[in-house]
């Protein structure tokens, strides 16, 4: 998206460099990515960087509302509430489509947001390997707020581990070795110093949790949570005997599971910004828009596998039996802004925040990107294309 940087990058690219880049990531993490990593990062011009940060901060302002917990009290399904929710999430990720405004300027449009950690350790491994194997201009950065590679991992370690013994903090997931994101678990152990533990490996004694670390029963004081609890609920029967995480346990959560639901599609109708598509809870929709073809209907929760309705009709809206569990949202049109040797591509940019307990506001630290040439964004939808897949951004600052 920075034309001169894009042109220079495409000219320097060779498949040998790309293969060395992939090997560099695998050597650093100790395992190869189980998803396609794009041949290129995304180069974000200063004007778009400014808009992305503005959009994020406007969203953060809503999360900071004193009544945020009360307006999102119905966001958490009653059977998925976990005790001991804290006052704020420790991680927030905000996803934007890159679009073009009517005048042709680039602009972000909110797609999704989550109070949940994602790929925080691995994303800097990826960015570092892009810098190692390609000529990334020095004035562009994958970090924000004066952070560098050393201070980035220091911040993560301080928030995830803090003053606790690292062996008493675990990354918790269900069947971690089967997850496509497991390269991040390896990087988390390397750079943060904590082990990944499967839910089925937890041992409960009263309210306390333990796990076997090299054969030694070790207490768990803090969980760096990577479990999505509605997924857990679907898999619960096939997991066999395992600890019930919905009970009163003597453990601290980073991030507490309830925030996954509070900061989600449920939040979007409360956000009023030029960078956020208009959204309504369906039961609060004042009138069905005349241009309904420009809207999508999204379930707040995936009940019985129900998905997004893209070509919405008035009959679809009338047929919804639980309108309080759906939102109607203006469609977002991705712009093909990334020029590649095999044709233009679209992209999403994920802005990644951490929120230490000592900070009055979340801190923007890193990013993630997904590049696609199809209708769907996501690393699982790009199996045959090239110059697509998971990536990261390097930002120009004004």
List pLDDT tens digits, range 27-43: 999 999 999 999 999 99
User: Is there a single domain that holds both residue 95 and residue 159?
Assistant: yes
CA distance 66 to 50: 27
User: Is there a single domain that holds both residue 182 and residue 131?
Assistant: yes
User: Is there a single domain that holds both residue 122 and residue 162?
Assistant: yes
User: Is there a single domain that holds both residue 228 and residue 80?
Assistant: yes
User: 115 near 259, Cβ under 8 Å?
Assistant: yes
And the tokens for 266?
């449920």
pTM score: 0.95
Using DSSP bridges, classify how beta strands 91-100 and 393-395 pair: parallel, antiparallel or unpaired. Answer: unpaired
User: Is there a single domain that holds both residue 343 and residue 304?
Assistant: no
Q: Does the pLDDT of residue 64 top 80, yes or no?
A: yes
CA distance 172 to 155: 20
- % of the chain beyond a pLDDT of 70: 96
Q: How many CB atoms lie within 10 A of CB 236?
A: 13
User: Is there a single domain that holds both residue 372 and residue 289?
Assistant: no
Cα torsion at 352, 358, 361, 364 (round to 10°)?
Answer: -20
pLDDT band at residue 70 under the 50/70/90 scheme: very high
Q: Does the pLDDT of residue 305 top 80, yes or no?
A: no
* pLDDT of amino acid 383: 60
What's the whole-number mean pLDDT along residues 155-177?
A: 97
- Average pLDDT along the chain: 94
Kind plus residue range of the DSSP H or E element containing 128:
helix 120-133
pLDDT band at residue 48 under the 50/70/90 scheme: very high
Residue of higher predicted confidence among 107 and 382: 107
* pLDDT of amino acid 374: 83
User: Is there a single domain that holds both residue 82 and residue 171?
Assistant: yes
* pLDDT of amino acid 378: 57
User: Is there a single domain that holds both residue 337 and residue 325?
Assistant: no
User: Is there a single domain that holds both residue 260 and residue 293?
Assistant: no
What's the whole-number mean pLDDT along residues 188-214?
A: 98
Domain span at residue 285 reads 278-331
* pLDDT of amino acid 302: 67
User: Is there a single domain that holds both residue 225 and residue 284?
Assistant: no
Q: How many CB atoms lie within 10 A of CB 102?
A: 5
Q: Give residue-wise pLDDT tens across range 318-338.
A: 999 999 999 999 999 999 999
Q: Give residue-wise pLDDT tens across range 236-282.
A: 888 989 999 999 999 999 999 999 999 999 999 999 999 999 999 99
CA distance 256 to 87: 9
**∠ Cα 312 315 317 (to 5°):** 65
Q: Give residue-wise pLDDT tens across range 100-138.
A: 999 999 999 999 999 999 999 999 999 999 999 999 999
């Amino acid at each position: 998206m920075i034309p001169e940087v894009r042109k220079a990058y495409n000219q320097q690219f060779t498949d040998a460099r790309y293969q060395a880049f992939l090997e560099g990531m695998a050597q650093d993490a100790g395992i190869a990515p189980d998803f396609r990593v794009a041949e290129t990062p995304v180069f974000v011009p200063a004007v778009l960087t400014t808009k992305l940060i503005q959009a994020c901060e406007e969203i953060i302002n809503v999360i900071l509302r004193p009544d945020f917990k009360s307006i999102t009290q119905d966001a958490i399904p009653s059977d998925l509430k976990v005790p001991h929710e804290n006052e704020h999430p420790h991680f927030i990720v905000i996803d934007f489509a890159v679009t073009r405004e009517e005048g042709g300027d680039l602009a972000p449009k909110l797609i999704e947001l989550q109070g949940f950690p994602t790929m925080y350790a691995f994303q800097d491994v990826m960015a570092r390997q892009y810098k190692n194997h390609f000529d990334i201009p020095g004035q562009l950065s994958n970090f924000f707020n004066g952070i560098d590679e050393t201070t980035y991992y220091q911040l993560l370690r301080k928030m995830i581990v803090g003053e606790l013994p690292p062996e008493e903090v675990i990354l918790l997931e269900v069947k971690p070795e089967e997850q496509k994101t497991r390269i991040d678990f390896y990087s988390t152990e390397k750079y943060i110093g904590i082990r990944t533990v499967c839910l089925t490996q937890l041992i409960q004694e009263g309210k306390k949790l333990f796990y076997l670390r090299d054969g030694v029963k070790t207490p768990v004081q803090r969980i760096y949570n990577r479990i999505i609890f509605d997924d857990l609920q679907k898999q619960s029967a096939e997991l066999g005997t395992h600890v019930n995480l919905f009970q009163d346990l003597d453990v601290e959560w980073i991030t507490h599971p309830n925030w996954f639901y509070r900061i989600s599609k449920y939040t979007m109708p409360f956000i009023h910004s030029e960078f956020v598509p208009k959204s309504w809870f369906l039961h609060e929709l004042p009138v069905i828009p005349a241009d309904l073809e420009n809207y999508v209907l999204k379930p707040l929760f995936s009940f019985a596998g129900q998905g997004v309705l893209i070509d919405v009709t008035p009959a679809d809206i009338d047929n919804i039996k639980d309108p309080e569990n759906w939102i109607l949202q203006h469609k977002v049109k991705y712009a093909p802004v990334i020029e590649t040797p095999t044709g233009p591509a679209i992209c999403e940019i994920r802005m990644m925040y951490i929120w230490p307990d000592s900070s009055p506001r979340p801190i923007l630290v890193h990013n993630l990107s997904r590049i696609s040439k199809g209708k769907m964004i996501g690393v699982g939808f790009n199996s045959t294309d090239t110059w697509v897949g998971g990536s990261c951004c390097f930002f120009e600052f004004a």
